[in-house]
Homo-oligomer: A and B are copies of this chain.
Amino acid sequence: MVKVVSPGELKSLLFKVFKALNVYDEHAELIADSLVCANLRCVDSHGVSRGLDFINGIRVGEINPRPNIRVIREDSASVLIDGDRGIGIPVAYEVTRRVIEKAKRLGVGVGAAKNLWNVGALAYYVMKIANEGLVGIALANARARISIPGVKSAIVGTNPIAVGIPTASEPIILDMALSTAAFGKIVLAARKGEKIPEGWALNKEGKPTTDPKEALEGFLLPVGGYKGFGLAVVVDILCSIFIGAPYSLVISGKGPYTQGGFLIMAMSPNMFRSYDEFVKDMDNYVSTLKSLPKDPGVEILMPGEPEARCYKERLSKGIPLDDEIWGQLVKISKELGINV
């Protein structure tokens, strides 16, 4: 069963909940915006359900609701920010805001954040960058969950990569974790008593498994075998050792979605050519690819296009939330004295 909620009402409710949990207004606004944006884009794993983890993290004292987000190092092209154990969204947003400024001035800006909780969907930040007419690349590392056959331990996190590229209309938005399948899909299969496909997971002994319950005690497999594993290692290093944050294996904290570090860069097409020519060519690129010969019913979708379609649909029809998720949000709201 699902409850359909209007995006505006959902955002307003989330804002009130975080505010009631002592989160700064400005931060609560960003957190609510990021979560609702994820739900609107059909990325429900990073929407309200992620918000419930944040709420729990604040309540158990794991997350600092009023972090002093401060710059540790800054130079003309780079910035490093300490998130003071706060929810990662306002922290990552602050880094993003600064790399946008740097890229507008210098062509490129690189920023990082450490000592922060989960940043939500990376797409949110590269969309902000693309909306400014810049190319954005964002990386984050997470608690180790991926392994390779024969290894009896997780090695690296699902460490996502996101890229945002502006066009004259919808930006191209790639946002992908480096496991074959999302952890949430295995949880779902376990709940339904279904098998999972080969290539998704290993059991805790490092042996391939199609049993979701074994998989939940075990590890995820990297997308594309050693290629995805290599990318996950590289993202782990760039978000940890490179910036002075914890790597996937040593990320601490009780929550399931703590973050090691966050790295983002913004790059201006003006480094290489005029923005107008760039945008004109982008539109030509997308339309050329889309018009290639194909079977009836087949469509060539750009990265982020399914999510952009979902966004439009849910913006008008509302966001369907699992009764369980909605129920939890309502319960928490009432406990905090908020009328739903």
Which A residues contact B (CB, under 8 angstroms)? 73, 75-78, 80, 106-108, 110, 112, 135, 148-153, 155, 161, 163, 165, 172, 174, 176, 180, 206, 223-225, 227-228, 230-231, 233-234, 237-238, 240-244, 247, 249-250, 265, 267, 269, 271-273, 277-278, 281-282, 285, 288-289, 292-295, 297-298, 300, 302-303
Contacts and interface: CB of A to CB of B under 8 A. Distances in A.
A50 B166 CA distance: 35
A80 B271 CA distance: 8
Contacts of A206: 294-295, 298
A93 B180 CA distance: 35
B237 A78 contact: no
B224 A78 contact: no
A75 B153 CA distance: 47
B163 A234 contact: yes
Given A152-B293, A180-B224, A242 B269 contact: yes
Which has the most chain B C-beta neighbours within 10 Å: A106, A155, A241, A302?
A: A241
A151 B296 CA distance: 10
Given A78-B271, A278-B241, A155 B300 contact: yes
**Complex copy number for this chain:** 2
A132 to B, nearest CB: 15
A30 to B, nearest CB: 24
Nearest to A178: B227
A194 to B, nearest CB: 20
A77 B80 contact: no
Given A75-B271, A243-B273, A155 B110 contact: no
A148 B265 CA distance: 30
Contact of A110 (B107, B163, B303): B107
Contacts of A238: 135, 165
Given A135-B238, A174-B231, A234-B174, A271 B73 contact: yes
